[in-house]
Amino acid sequence: MKNLIKNDQGMTLIEVMISILLFAIFITAFMAGQGGNINSSIKFKGELLLKDIAEMKMNEVLINPPEDFRPGAGKVNVASDTLKFKEIEEYPDYRYALQLFKVTIPEFEKITGQQEGNPNEDQMVRKRIFDNFKRNMEQIVWQVVITVEHKESGATYDLSTWYYNQAGRLEFDIN
């Protein structure tokens, strides 16, 4: 046991400074990572609330459609380029806009690539069937878009679905 080296001096100042430096680097990296996680969580929470509000408003529209979509109603008001936001009572920091888009189907000639002229009997039958389909689809199928916006940040969320317009009438032209 006489060969043991005895070190009663403790840690030197350099060793203490190196350990403090390593600890400071670790703490700085850890706190930066945690700060990023907290910011991401706050942002994600806001996005989730936007999504939840949009789903709530979409369900309201599907369960209780606008007056224009009800049987016996007149024409449906098609959405314009500008959003008309409405307030949400339950969420005063948010507002929403409802847009209804009419389905548009291209003309038969554009789809088939045919030139207008003297179509044969088969082409005339196909065109009549297609025109019937086009007229009916444009009356009964609509796209509903809900846009929810956070007033303060300006963050928005759009939710879209297809809607069957029960006020639309199917017409069949057999002639």
For the record, the structure tokens of 14 come out as 């350099």
What ranges do the domains of the chain cover? 13-164
Q: Residue 71 pLDDT more than 50?
A: no
Q: Residue 91 pLDDT more than 80?
A: yes
CA distance 161 to 62: 10
Average pLDDT value over all residues in the chain: 80
Q: Quick one: pLDDT at residue 40?
A: 81
Q: Residue 59 pLDDT more than 70?
A: yes
Beta bridge mates, 44: none
Asked if residue 64 lies in contact with residue 98, where contact means CB atoms within 8 angstroms, the answer is no
H/E stretch holding 99: strand 94-102
Q: Quick one: pLDDT at residue 44?
A: 85
Q: Kindly list the distances between the CA atom of residue 61 and the CA atoms of 40, 67, 82, 103, 160, in Å, as whole numbers in the listed order.
A: 32, 10, 20, 18, 12
Q: Which residues contact 157 (CB under 8 A, 6 or more apart)?
A: 47, 50, 51, 53, 54, 147, 148
Burial class (CB in 10 A: 0-12, 13-18, 19+), 130: middle
